[in-house]
């Protein structure tokens, strides 16, 4: 289906205060992640994956951490990218946030089971 309507598709809970919606083609995936559990006193643990990633901050404010780069304070309207296999994470500064992640290739671990 080429359309995902947020008010018609149930979000998948990730953990308390975090939920996501996923749409994808064969080689491109977009994930909308909503947070309502901020602000966080510490960042999430660093992680990495083989997928290239871009992220648009649609709402909220955060600190972005990426291996070998200075930490960056970002707000709604900002974007960041993560090259393949780079350690990275975020720390939510606002109560709520919405991130729009794009991945190539698909992240099978985020597909509905």
10 falls within a domain = no
Pull the structure tokens for residue 38.
Answer: 């901020």
What's the pLDDT score for residue 10? Answer: 83
11 falls within a domain = no
51 falls within a domain = yes
| Arithmetic mean of pLDDT over the chain | 94
Backbone angles phi, psi at 108, to 5 degrees: -60, -30
pTM of the model: 0.93
DSSP symbol at 11:
P
7 falls within a domain = no
The CATH number that applies at residue 41 is: 2.60.120.10
What's the pLDDT score for residue 1? Answer: 58
19 falls within a domain = no
Mean pLDDT lowest among 19-28, 50-59, 77-86, 87-96? 19-28
Range of the domain at 57: 29-102
Give the pLDDT band (50/70/90) at residue 3: confident
How many domains, in total, are found in the chain? Answer: 1
- Please check whether residue 47 is in contact with residue 77, taking contact to mean a CB–CB distance below 8 angstroms: no
What's the pLDDT score for residue 9? Answer: 80
Q: pLDDT per residue over 70-79, tens digit each? A: 999 999 999 9
Cα separation, 61 vs 94, in Å, equals: 5
């Amino acid at each position: 289906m080429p359309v995902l309507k947020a008010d018609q598709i149930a979000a998948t809970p990730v953990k308390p205060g975090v939920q996501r919606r996923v749409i994808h083609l064969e080689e491109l995936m977009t994930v909308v992640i909503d947070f309502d559990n901020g602000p966080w006193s510490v960042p999430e643990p660093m992680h990495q994956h083989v997928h290239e990633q871009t992220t648009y901050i649609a709402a909220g404010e955060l600190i972005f951490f990426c291996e070998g780069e200075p930490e960056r304070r970002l707000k709604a309207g900002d974007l960041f990218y993560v090259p393949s296999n780079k350690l990275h994470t975020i720390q939510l500064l606002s109560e709520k946030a919405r991130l729009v992640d794009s991945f190539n290739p698909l992240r099978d671990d985020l597909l509905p089971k």
